[in-house]
Structure 1
Amino acid sequence: MVRVTSKRQFTIPKAYFDKLRLGDTVKCYLEGERLVLEPVREDSFWDFSTDILRSLIAEGYQGETLLAEFEARKRKALQALGSMVEEARKEAQAGKGQPADAVFRELLGEDDV
């Protein structure tokens, strides 16, 4: 059991951290009533395949329609990511931008990031 601070933070026990070879970033998502943390490998940080497939399976896709919808959504995700990067570049060059907490609030749709 671990303690959660008032800032919603907790320490991953060293034995778990070492066994999973965790780095500076972990993937975090809900699975039912569980909070799941997964290691993120450098080469897979920007690969949303697992997230897309998890959503499609939950939506009931199967077989060839699963494959077709997966390809379509992955393509859209990569296009959206490219657009976000380009927009961020333009804002940075213009001296504009948003604080990190505002960006996370917008991305996650949460008021209490």
Structure 2
Amino acid sequence: MPTTVTERGNTKMNRKVLSISSKRQITIPQKFYKSLGFGDEAECVVRGGELIIRPIKTVAGGEFAEQILADLIKEGLSGEKLLAEFKKRQAQIRPAAEAMLANAEDIAAGKAEYATYEDVFGTED
């Protein structure tokens, strides 16, 4: 089936129906694979009623890298243990940020409780 362009709100989306093999496998269309920068691995996420498959970026943006390294050094790690723990903690940043964004979206939609400025910092007396 050819790729079609559809719109959802103000967002244009490329759409293609994929076949699923008897082993539950799919093939990512080459156009999508190249344009999104897929490599050897992909991340699979279920969000609501959607299955999202996205490339894993092997080159991290360095988010919080200095803070993570400083903490690990304070904990006395070095060498291979330092590297392994750094990779583990660096990988936790994106899921944590996504959870925070999802919570913010729920708050904005009135689906979750939130803390006010006064709840956090108290009132000025």
| TM-score, reference length from structure 2 | 0.42
Which structure features the higher share of strand residues? 2
Task: Choose 1 or 2 for highest CA Rg.
Answer: 2
Higher helix share: 1
TM-score (norm. length: structure 1): 0.45
